[in-house]
């Protein structure tokens, strides 16, 4: 019997990991039939730095989303 060892792949980092996480978020929204989700969080960086972020993901386009430029206040 042949023994096969499977190496674990290192976790994706940087842009690739961010893209993966965003695509998973879209998948979750689709499965839960959500149209809008607000995301926020924070994480520690080097040299005692901290990143705080927040964004809103909206799926689909509604009539009010397509205002003309001169209508935007």
Per-residue model confidence as pLDDT tens digits over 42-62: 888 888 899 898 989 998 877
Report CA-CA distances (Å) from 14 to 32, 33, 60. 27, 29, 28
* Residue pLDDT, tens place only, 64-73: 777 766 655 5
* Residue pLDDT, tens place only, 2-28: 555 655 555 556 788 888 888 999 999
Alpha-carbon span 55 to 21, nearest angstrom: 14
Q: Is the pTM of this model over 0.85?
A: no
> Which tokens hold the place of 68?
């003309």
Alpha-carbon span 36 to 56, nearest angstrom: 7
């Amino acid at each position: 019997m042949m023994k096969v060892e499977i190496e674990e792949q290192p976790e994706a980092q940087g842009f690739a990991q961010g893209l993966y996480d965003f695509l998973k978020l879209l998948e979750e929204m689709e499965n839960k039939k959500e149209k809008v989700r607000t995301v926020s969080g924070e994480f520690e960086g080097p040299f005692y730095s901290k990143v705080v972020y927040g964004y809103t993901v909206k799926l689909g386009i509604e009539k009010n989303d397509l205002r003309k430029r001169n209508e935007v206040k």
